[in-house]
């Protein structure tokens, strides 16, 4: 796909759908559209596999959504595209757009809506703010299938339809090669934050039913690794109750959180986060 394709197939039809706008707003959008084309090209959005996605945005969503927001149109487009740029795959972008179409927000509420949708789409680091938004906006919560915002305090709550997630989440991988961590990760709990250390690097871990995020932290201080406790009995118990543990797994640490167990291993470069189900694993 070429910049010409963008202009004729996406920008022109978009501008045409806003003929009723005041001239200055049309001109503003046209001008912004030119800059946008260059950015789309520069960041690889004009590749053929993106065609369907761009058509969905420019020909279906934007004409409906922006019709009543002529002045803010450039800013709103940019907010939507910046948010989509956070998601690496086309499928994840399409998932977000699908939900976005369900609740086309007003100009004022666009940021908050995109934040909630991003969280539901896997950006766990936005969880706290997103819950605040949902609590303040019951209509949005209901549209997205969260009739009980109270239940959201459990990080494994997936909404009215899917209810609680019970399957564990893995971060990292079994082996060093190709994994997330370049050394065996170990857990630190400080100021109600879960910190993951691996070698000289540190992250804050965000995890819930919708995704995981390791947020890099500065590594100015050297943090001492805790001594290993004998967790062999615990490991046996875990294996008995949980099929996600593999034979040979030797648990290094177990951190019990209000709704989860977080495990690090002596033998694997991964972390396992197991949702609590009642009082047992």
Partner 1 sequence: MKNDPFNFRISSSPTRPKRHNRDKAQQEFDVADLVNDGPFGQPLAGDETEQQSPPDEKLRQAYFWIVNYAVISPYYDIEYNTHTPQPFTFGGSRAELRLPTDQSYSSFILLPLLTFATQRKCLFIGGPGRGKTASALLMGLLAGDDSKTVRRNMLHGHPQMTVADLLGNPLPKDLMQAEDEADIRISWRSWLKQRVKIIDEYNRIPTRTQSALLSVLGDNYAEMFNQIYECPPAAWYLTANDDQGGGTYPVIEALKDRIDVVVQALTFNPRFLDELLMRVEQNIDPTGFFPEDLHFSTAEMEQMQAEIKAIKLPDTLRRRLEYFVSQFEFSEFSGDSFEYQSKDTSRLAGVPRHFLAQLESGRDRLADLGCQTTNGLSVRSLMSLIIYAKALAYFRGNSAVSLEDITQIIPFVLHSHLHQDPDAPLFADTDYKTFLSDKIGWLRYLFKESNLAFDLQGLNNHDSVAELKAQLDQGLEQVSERECQARLQKIEQLLTSLSQSNKLSGVIHSDALTLKYMHQRYSNYLRWLQSR
Residues that bind partner 1 (CB under 8 A): 28, 32, 35-36, 39, 42-43, 71-72, 74-75, 77-83, 85-86, 110-112, 114-115, 118, 123, 125-126, 128-129, 191, 204, 215, 217
Minimum CB distance to partner 1, residue 147 (Å): 18
Where are the extended beta strands (E) located within the chain? 169-172, 186-190, 193-198, 201-208, 211-217, 251-256, 260-265, 270-275
Query: Residue 192 or residue 230: which is nearer to partner 1 going by CB?
Result: 192
Minimum CB distance to partner 1, residue 265 (Å): 26
Query: Residue 118 or residue 264: which is nearer to partner 1 going by CB?
Result: 118
The single-letter DSSP state of residue 168 is -
Query: Residue 4 or residue 191: which is nearer to partner 1 going by CB?
Result: 191
Minimum CB distance to partner 1, residue 150 (Å): 11
Minimum CB distance to partner 1, residue 78 (Å): 4
Minimum CB distance to partner 1, residue 238 (Å): 29
Q: Give exposure, 47-72, as e/b (b: 16+ Cβ within 10 Å).
A: eeebeebbebbbeebbeebbeebbeb
* Rounded-to-integer distance, Cα 251 and Cα 72, Å: 53
Query: Residue 130 or residue 274: which is nearer to partner 1 going by CB?
Result: 130
Query: Residue 110 or residue 264: which is nearer to partner 1 going by CB?
Result: 110
Minimum CB distance to partner 1, residue 95 (Å): 16
Rg of the chain (C-alpha set): 23
* Rounded-to-integer distance, Cα 232 and Cα 212, Å: 28
Q: Integer distance in angstroms from the first to the last C-alpha of the chain?
A: 51
**DSSP secondary structure of 149-162:** SGGGGSTTB--TTT
* Rounded-to-integer distance, Cα 84 and Cα 50, Å: 12
Query: Residue 35 or residue 106: which is nearer to partner 1 going by CB?
Result: 35
Minimum CB distance to partner 1, residue 32 (Å): 6
Quote the tokens at residue 163: 């209810």
CA quadruple 121, 158, 103, 108: dihedral sign: negative
CA quadruple 19, 24, 28, 31: dihedral sign: positive
Query: Residue 44 or residue 178: which is nearer to partner 1 going by CB?
Result: 44
């Amino acid at each position: 796909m070429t910049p010409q394709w963008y202009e004729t197939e996406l920008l022109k039809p978009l501008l045409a759908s806003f003929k009723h706008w005041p001239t200055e707003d049309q001109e503003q959008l046209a001008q912004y559209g030119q800059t946008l084309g260059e950015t789309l090209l520069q960041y690889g959005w004009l590749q053929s596999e993106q065609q369907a996605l761009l058509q969905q945005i420019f020909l279906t969503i934007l004409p409906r959504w922006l019709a009543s927001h002529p002045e803010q149109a450039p800013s709103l487009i940019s907010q939507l595209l910046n948010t989509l740029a956070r998601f690496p795959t086309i499928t994840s972008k399409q998932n977000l757009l699908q939900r976005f179409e369900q609740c086309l927000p007003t100009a004022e509420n666009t940021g908050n809506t995109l934040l909630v949708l991003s969280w539901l789409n896997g950006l766990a680091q936005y969880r706290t703010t997103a819950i605040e938004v949902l609590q303040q906006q019951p209509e949005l919560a209901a549209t997205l299938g969260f009739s009980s915002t109270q239940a959201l305090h459990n990080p494994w709550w997936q909404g009215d339809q899917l209810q609680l997630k019970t399957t564990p989440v893995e971060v990292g991988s079994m082996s060093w090669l190709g994994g997330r961590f370049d050394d065996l990760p170990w857990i630190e709990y400080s100021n109600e934050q879960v910190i993951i250390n691996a070698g000289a690097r540190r992250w804050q871990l965000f995890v819930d039913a919708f995704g995981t995020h390791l947020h890099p932290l500065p590594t100015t201080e050297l943090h001492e690794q805790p001594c290993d406790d004998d967790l062999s009995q615990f490991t046996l118990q875990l294996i008995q109750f949980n099929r996600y543990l593999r034979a040979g797994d030797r648990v290094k640490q177990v951190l019990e959180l209000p709704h989860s167990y977080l495990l690090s291993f002596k033998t694997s470069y991964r972390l396992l986060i197991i949702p609590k189900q009642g009082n047992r694993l």
